């Protein structure tokens, strides 16, 4: 169950939707996330009441088309799968929104089974009775 936050400057709803779908499709293709397992917060900043800052570290020149993608998911994927995910996100974002791959900044935070509650105040992946944790995503 990845939880995704996407932030970009001055985006209209259609671009935000395209960004969200591009990231979801990349997660499905590269990490095997179920297609309906989609939890995203998409935010377009107006530059006045909310904005974004970016630099050229580490030698990647970004401009105001930058897209920050923060993904939280359960641990367990290898480096090659993560690299494939980063690459596919950049490709799909470029195809669907025209955003240059250099402007697609992705962070990944991993956690464990007990770090998720889908509702009802329960840790569904880490039941108290010691039962099965459920599918990985």
- Give the pLDDT confidence score for residue 62 in this predicted structure: 93
Q: In the structure encoding, which two tokens stand for residue 22, read together?
A: 């591009």
More confidently predicted of 128 and 73: 73
Packed helices 13-31 and 79-97: angle between N→C axes, nearest 10 degrees = 150
Q: How confident is the model at residue 45 (pLDDT cuts 50, 70, 90)?
A: very high
> Chain-wide mean pLDDT for the chain?
91
H and E: helices and strands count for the chain:
2, 4
**pLDDT tens digits, one per residue of 67-103:** 999 999 999 999 999 999 999 999 999 999 999 999 9
Q: In the structure encoding, which two tokens stand for residue 49, read together?
A: 């009441």
Q: Is 97 helix (H, G, I), strand (E, B) or coil?
A: helix
Q: Of the ranges 26-35, 47-56, 70-79, which one carries the lowest mean pLDDT score?
A: 47-56
- Give the pLDDT confidence score for residue 10 in this predicted structure: 86
- Give the pLDDT confidence score for residue 47 in this predicted structure: 85
60 alpha-carbon distance from chain centroid: 20
More confidently predicted of 42 and 135: 42
């Amino acid at each position: 169950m990845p939880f995704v936050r996407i932030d970009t400057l001055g985006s209209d709803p259609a671009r935000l939707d395209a960004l969200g779908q591009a990231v979801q499709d990349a997660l499905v293709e590269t990490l095997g996330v179920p297609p309906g397992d989609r939890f995203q917060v998409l935010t377009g900043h107006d530059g006045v009441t909310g904005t974004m800052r970016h630099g050229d570290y580490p030698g990647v020149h970004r401009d105001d088309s930058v897209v920050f993608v923060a993904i939280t998911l359960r641990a367990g994927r290898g480096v090659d799968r993560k690299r494939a995910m980063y690459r596919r996100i950049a490709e799909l974002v470029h195809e669907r929104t025209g955003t240059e791959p250099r402007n697609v900044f992705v962070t990944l935070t991993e956690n464990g089974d007990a770090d998720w509650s889908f509702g009802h105040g329960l840790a569904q992946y880490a039941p108290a009775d010691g039962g099965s944790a459920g599918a990985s995503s």
